[in-house]
Chains A and B, each alone.
Chain A
Amino acid sequence: KAGVTQTPRYLIKTRGQQVTLSCSPISGHRSVSWYQQTPGQGLQFLFEYFSETQRNKGNFPGRFSGRQFSNSRSEMNVSTLELGDSALYLCASSGTVITSTDTQYFGPGTRLTVL
């Protein structure tokens, strides 16, 4: 099976702009989680989607949003970009059903730089 893919891989934006990142999960997986990774803060959970429904949300401002489509592909959007949003954004896919012990498989990430 093909792994998790993310597009684009690199992105440079300026403050105030908005950005949309895409994640395609492993075929058959229905859950997609998003994480922000920064050198100082490690892996911070943004949100999780399962079958087009947001199941969980992390402690991020409302500028961060996401959605999931019927084919399980997911997008996340960040509006009004700030310098502090510069990070590696990782998505991870898991499972065909919701369980607490599903393994998450990560995509390669999108490196976002905000100037």
Chain B
Amino acid sequence: QALLVESGGGVVHPARSLTLSCTVSAFGISSVTMAWVRQAPGKGLEWVSLISYDGTDKYYADSVKGRFNISRDNSKNTVYLHMNSLRPNDTAVYFCAKMKLALYFDLWGQGTLVTVSS
């Protein structure tokens, strides 16, 4: 059974916005650090953003800083990635991942594809 399920991907025009969701089943996320990692087509893994268990600490890759915002709703067991001013090079599969403390990624969702194209 899927434990982390991403949704919200799709095709979007450059400069537009999109919000991804990651809904977690089988465990509560209220004490868990969560992250987003992306993978451009045919490329490797790139960490995008991280949010602490209570939402007080947030980190972003330089490539998305100022454009993306991560948030969480622990009552809904869901993490979000709000993506603004999208660029063609943001095209990627976006994975939601549970982190062990703020160290490594010990559980991953199946990913959702975001395509930025006119």
**A and B together in one complex:** no
Q: Which residues on A are within 8 Å of B, measured CB to CB?
A: none
